[in-house]
């Protein structure tokens, strides 16, 4: 499993998207179905950001990771 996400993509997911999803989840009610979905989304964003690999990028043949061409 090679990385397919750029540093910017990883940071945006970890620093911006995941915390915003958690805050919105708290605002709509921590035990509601919508909040639980947002929490799961935040966990996925953190996990893919930490790993540098997004399974959906593989499905759609996307790659934002800059590789040096030799």
Q: What is the pLDDT of residues 6-38, one digit of tens each?
A: 999 999 999 999 999 999 999 999 999 999 999
Query: Residue 2 in contact with residue 53, Cβ under 8 Å?
Result: yes
Give the C-alpha separation, 7 to 66, whole Å.
9
Give residue 22's pLDDT.
Answer: 97
Residues 54, 64: contact at Cβ < 8 Å? no
pLDDT attached to residue 68:
57
pLDDT at 29: 93
The distance from CA 32 to its chain's CA centroid, rounded to whole angstroms, is 22
Q: Please state, rounded to an integer, the average pLDDT across all residues of the chain.
A: 91
**Which tokens go with 3?**
């990385």
The pTM score is: 0.85
In the predicted model, is pLDDT for residue 70 greater than 60? no
Q: What angle do CA 40, 56, 69 make, to 5 degrees?
A: 130
């Amino acid at each position: 499993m090679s990385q397919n996400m750029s540093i910017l993509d990883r940071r945006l997911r970890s620093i911006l998207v995941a915390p915003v999803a958690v805050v919105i989840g708290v605002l709509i009610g921590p035990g509601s179905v919508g909040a639980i979905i947002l929490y799961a989304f935040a966990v996925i964003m953190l996990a893919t950001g930490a790993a540098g690999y997004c399974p959906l990028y593989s499905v759609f043949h996307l790659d934002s990771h800059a590789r040096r061409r030799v």
